[in-house]
């Protein structure tokens, strides 16, 4: 069956034909690729076409697809049983690695997705502080738990409006969503609600509105304000953890959040999430403390095995290697678009990048929204037709892996050059 036929068949039994909406080609048009297999930097679709992949499963595949050592480790582990519902040494091995890598993490709880990690972190922050309100930022994605699926209200004092039907107003009303990089808005929110704010949750480098860097002083400001008000600071490093550096953005900046959420890379492609932080706060979780949290498949031996192997390989890697490849791509893209007279702003952090089709500098969700999504869609389709798989939406990051070769980068630049000719 080809992609179209598979999509038609899928849509009969799966809502929209996909099990996560970001996989649908809603904003770019056309049919999603149905993937048959992948290896290194390449994915092969149901029609046998190969693509250089810059989605990398939305982040986890930092070593490339089907890394032989990770595959071998999973093969060996699965023969010993897929799940026990009882503790294993593998979970300790994983926890010890996370604690060693992240300066702010003294204890960690494994879960099965990033959503579970952020959901647990928010519950723990509320349970620890005895407060109900939380602060997040417009355009930051923290998974799909009710309290976090809240869009911007305009202005600091505006209470959250549910970003999705199904979220009780009373719950959404406890989420304040502010402009990223706007410390004054945070100060105003704390001036009004400070005694009732349990936590701030933030992507320390935002990568879910496209890549947006924190302005100098922004994260430091969040640290100060939360500390002064008895609120917790939660870094959602589900994307940035083990990607921007082995210990995440916090090792680069030296800022120590109270809690950190992880996911994606630490499962090596298997379903995983984790949240950790100060021991005192973490031990407020059951079974030691009163805040309940659980999971039948949490710390799953296959996921731990894939994650541990991935981390052990990553630990020996030089992250400047993937950053340099990303910078080469960015510089070449920028030059090609400049030469063509097409306005594009390219943000990048380490091995993450986003091409925003706008003239304005992108510093938050509002400026990201100024991008020309229609032009992006044409760029996306042009690249796809030339064998380059980018995320099928303007407000996403591109991911470069250790498996991307110089040849991949050259081919991607050549595809961009050809695609641009079709955009004018």
Ligand X SMILES: *Cc1c(COP(=O)(O)O)cnc(C)c1O
- Active-site residues: which are they? 141, 236, 264
Piece in contact with ligand X (CB under 6 A), picked from 123-131, 139-147, 169-177, 287-295: 139-147
Among 32, 64, 143, 268, binds ligand X (CB under 6 A): 143
In 3D space, the residue among 145, 118, 130, 94 whose CA is nearest the CA of residue 284 turns out to be 130
- Residue 211-250 contact track with ligand X, rule CB under 6 A, x = bound: -------------------------x-xx-----------
Quote the least distance from Cβ 399 to ligand X, whole Å: 11
Nearer to ligand X, 67 or 142 (CB): 142
- 141 in contact with ligand X (CB under 6 A): yes
Nearer to ligand X, 208 or 371 (CB): 208
- Residue 74-113 contact track with ligand X, rule CB under 6 A, x = bound: ---------------------------------------x
Quote the least distance from Cβ 162 to ligand X, whole Å: 18
Listed in sequence order, the residues at least 6 apart from 190 whose beta carbon sits closer than 8 Å to its beta carbon are 197, 225, 229, 231
- 299 in contact with ligand X (CB under 6 A): no
Quote the least distance from Cβ 116 to ligand X, whole Å: 7
Quote the least distance from Cβ 396 to ligand X, whole Å: 10
Nearer to ligand X, 156 or 275 (CB): 275
- 60 in contact with ligand X (CB under 6 A): no
Quote the least distance from Cβ 354 to ligand X, whole Å: 13
Nearer to ligand X, 14 or 414 (CB): 14
In 3D space, the residue among 419, 349, 387 whose CA is nearest the CA of residue 54 turns out to be 387
Quote the least distance from Cβ 360 to ligand X, whole Å: 24
Subset of 263-292 contacting ligand X (CB under 6 A): 263, 273
Subset of 323-352 contacting ligand X (CB under 6 A): none
Strand 175-178 and strand 133-137: the pairing is: parallel
Quote the least distance from Cβ 339 to ligand X, whole Å: 33
Piece in contact with ligand X (CB under 6 A), picked from 138-146, 156-164, 318-326, 406-414: 138-146
Piece in contact with ligand X (CB under 6 A), picked from 68-76, 140-148, 322-330, 386-394: 140-148
Query: Taking CB positions, which residue lies at the least distance from ligand X?
Result: 114
Nearer to ligand X, 250 or 381 (CB): 250
Nearer to ligand X, 143 or 268 (CB): 143
Tell me the C-alpha distance between 183 and 67, whole Å. Answer: 42
Quote the least distance from Cβ 211 to ligand X, whole Å: 12
- 203 in contact with ligand X (CB under 6 A): yes
- 381 in contact with ligand X (CB under 6 A): no
Among 115, 120, 138, 181, binds ligand X (CB under 6 A): 115
The strand order across the sheet containing 35-39 reads 35-39, 42-45, 50-53, 388-389
- 118 in contact with ligand X (CB under 6 A): yes
In 3D space, the residue among 184, 220, 190 whose CA is nearest the CA of residue 202 turns out to be 220
Total of residues contacting ligand X (CB under 6 A) = 14
- What's the per-residue H, E or C state across the chain? CCHHHHHHHHHHHCHHHCCCHHHCCCCCCCCCCCEEEEEECEEEECCCCEEEECCHHHCCCCCCECCHHHHHHHHHHHCCCCCCCCCCHHHHHHHHHHHHHCCCCCEEEEECCHHHHHHHHHHHHHHHHCCCEEEEECCCCCCCCHHHCEECCCCCCCCCEECCCCCCHHHHCCEEEECCCCHHHHHHHHHHHHHHEEEEEECCCECCCCCECCCCCHHHHHHHHHHHHCCEEEEECCCCECCCECCCHHHHHCCCCCEEEEEHHHHCCCCCEEEEECHHHHCCECCCCCECCCCCCCCCHHHHHHHHHHHHHHHCCCHHHHHHHHHHHHHHHHHHHHHHCCCCEEEEECCEEEEECCCCCCCCHHHHHCCCHHHHHHHHHHHHHCCEECCCCCCCCEECCCCCCHHHHHHHHHHHHHHHHCCC
Nearer to ligand X, 21 or 370 (CB): 21
Nearer to ligand X, 91 or 116 (CB): 116
**Which residues contact ligand X by CB under 6 A?**
113-115, 118, 141-143, 203, 208, 236, 238-239, 263, 273
């Amino acid at each position: 069956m080809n992609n179209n036929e598979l999509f038609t068949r899928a849509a009969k039994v799966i809502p929209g034909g996909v099990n996560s909406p970001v996989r649908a080609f809603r904003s770019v048009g056309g049919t999603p690729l149905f993937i048959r297999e992948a290896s290194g930097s390449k994915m092969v679709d149901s029609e046998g076409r190969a693509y250089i992949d810059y989605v990398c499963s939305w982040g986890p595949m930092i070593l490339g697809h089907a890394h032989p050592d990770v595959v071998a480790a999973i093969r060996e582990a699965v023969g010993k049983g897929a799940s026990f519902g009882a503790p294993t040494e593998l979970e300790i091995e994983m926890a010890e690695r996370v604690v060693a890598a992240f300066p702010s993490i003294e204890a960690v709880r494994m879960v099965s997705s990033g959503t579970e990690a952020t959901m647990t972190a928010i519950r723990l922050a509320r349970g620890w502080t005895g407060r109900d309100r939380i602060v997040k930022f417009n355009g930051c994605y923290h998974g799909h738990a009710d309290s976090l699926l809240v869009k911007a209200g305009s202005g600091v004092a505006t209470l959250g409006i549910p970003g999705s039907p199904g979220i009780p107003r009373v719950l959404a009303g406890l989420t304040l969503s502010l402009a990223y990089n706007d410390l004054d808005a945070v100060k105003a929110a704390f001036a009004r609600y400070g005694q009732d704010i349990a936590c701030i949750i933030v992507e320390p480098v935002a990568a879910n509105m496209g890549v947006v860097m924190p302005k100098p002083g922004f994260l430091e400001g969040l640290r100060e304000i939360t500390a002064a008000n008895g609120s917790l600071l939660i870094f959602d490093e589900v994307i940035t953890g083990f990607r921007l550096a082995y210990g995440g953005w916090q090792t680069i900046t030296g800022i120590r959040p109270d809690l950190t959420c992880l996911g994606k890379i630490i499962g090596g492609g298997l379903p995983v999430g984790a949240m950790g932080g100060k021991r005192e706060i973490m031990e407020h979780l059951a079974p030691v403390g009163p805040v309940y949290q659980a999971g039948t498949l949490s710390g799953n031996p296959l996921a731990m095995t894939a994650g541990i192997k991935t981390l052990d390989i990553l630990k020996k890697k030089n992250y400047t290697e993937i950053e340099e490849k990303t910078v080469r791509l960015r510089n070449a893209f920028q030059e090609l678009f400049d030469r063509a007279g097409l306005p594009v702003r390219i943000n990048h952090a380490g091995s993450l990048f986003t091409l925003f089709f706008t003239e304005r500098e992108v510093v938050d969700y509002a400026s990201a929204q100024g991008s020309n999504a229609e032009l992006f869609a044409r760029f996306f389709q042009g690249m796809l037709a030339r064998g380059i798989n980018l995320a099928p939406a303007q407000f996403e990051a591109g991911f470069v892996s250790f498996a991307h070769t110089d040849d991949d980068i050259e081919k991607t630049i050549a595809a961009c050059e050809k695609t641009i000719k079709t955009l004018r």
